[in-house]
Structure 1
């Protein structure tokens, strides 16, 4: 079976509308470029119990999951602690993460023309960004060296897109290349005018039944700028199975005497 990919976006700012989520469209794009697709996504506010529950589901799923946000060291960052709780393991300062964070602090001191004081309280506090669930491995951050971390197939990155997206790409390109282009899905659909979804449902079910591995989808619209009220009806699945399934769908639509518009291929 092709491995499923999931996404968890953590942050009150997303749910309150202060910031629009950019992660899901980008993750869809990154996966699609590699012949993969996102199976599910979940949004969670900065509530530890909810984050822990979401991560428990992620770890139990066996899916490849990316979690964005909440891995900093401020009071509203809970993801690291919740990951440890979900796994029922202690938190520990990761040795490689500590080195990278100290490198970043030294870089910052040089940029500011000040001396690096390793034991200054704020610098000690910054090391909390490298406190991960026991057994975690790091994800390098090319933007500022402050790493994310992975536990199994669940991968934790910052909420900042400029950091998160290269880190997600790196994980994909170093750990999951054997999955690339497997199960590559193609869509082929047609605009259908003057038909009702309920009437078309038996045809959709028949096409799926006769063509294993194919999904039939229906996207109705009531006020499309070009096509007005219509249904986009199509099939999605492996490229070598699409044509026969699509032909069966079109043949069935002719039986309904439905008016067909343009075809769409993605």
Structure 2
């Protein structure tokens, strides 16, 4: 099962706001023995959002999507998801109920009686208009729900939450705990690495290829660093994958580096 992430908002691409969702989703998945397979950033362009969702909805992936589900002119995600599926946007009855609960809460906090027919409250109901066939995702912060859609492939699903971390993160965590708990820690995973100083990747490539050939359940990674005030030029070299092969593969890597007379330091 592959997990993906779509982050929507002009404010991210312009730098007005710094994305915090990517590292948090990595954390939420990692805590459960899961991994993120891909991520995409999109601006508030309806055509691009629609085309992206049409493509990703055709996969078997589990996709988290943040941003653009409000009811202002720059929020397009709900409508784009509907367009990608070729279905109308309709007011979800459970979403209507939750939004009206929120309206009543706000009225009580200000000592007033809720007027559900007031123009501003009728407009708030638009946040509960989702593609036909959607299910809601509860929002513990302010009760305004997100929504989910099954993929057109028949496998996997998309989960849509607001761009606000205080809302999106607990909503995504709820999705994982309530829909994918059977996937937690199903595949053992290990990773070992070292810093190889003043080395060239071209020199290390034959060793890397030999290790992957001998240990098919691991992947070798090589991350060059040009050096800075804290460290010399080096390559972060390592192996990751099935724990039963990671350790012997890592030992083999060290043997190969010694044969090359390379200077290295094992990472903590």
Please indicate the TM-score interval, normalised by the length of the shorter structure. Answer: over 0.9
Give TM-score scaled by structure 2 length: 0.95
CA shift digits 1:112-158 (9 cap, x unpaired): 12221111111111111011111111000000000000002110000
1:183 paired with 2:194, answer no
Query: Which residue in the other structure is 2:148 paired with?
Result: 150
Confirm whether residue 95 of structure 1 aligns to residue 99 of structure 2. no
Match of 2:44 in 1: 46
Alignment of 1:181-220 (within 5 A): 181-220=185-224
Greater shift in the superposed pair: 244-253 or 30-39:
244-253
Q: Report the counterpart of residue 234 of structure 1 in structure 2.
A: 238
Q: Which residue of 2 aligns with 1:61?
A: 59
Counterpart Cα distance in 1 of 2:126 and 2:214: 55
Q: Which residue of 1 aligns with 2:154?
A: none
2-structure distance, mates of 1:55, 1:225: 44
Post-superposition shift, 1:87?
1.3
Contact 1:184 1:239 in 2 (8 A): yes
Asked if the contact 2:196/2:235 (under 8 Å) is kept, the reply is yes
Gaps of at least 5 residues in structure 1 are none
TM-score w.r.t. structure 1 length? 0.95
Shift of 1:255: 2.3
Kindly state the Cα deviation for residue 103 of structure 1 after the two structures are TM-superposed: 0.6
> How far, CA to CA, are the matches of 2:258 and 2:85 in structure 1?
54
SS in 1 for 2:224: strand
SS at match of 1:61: coil
Deviation beyond 6 Å, 4+ runs, structure 1? none
Classify the secondary structure of the residue corresponding to 1:8: strand
How much has 1:172 moved relative to structure 2? 0.4
Match of 1:173 in 2: 177
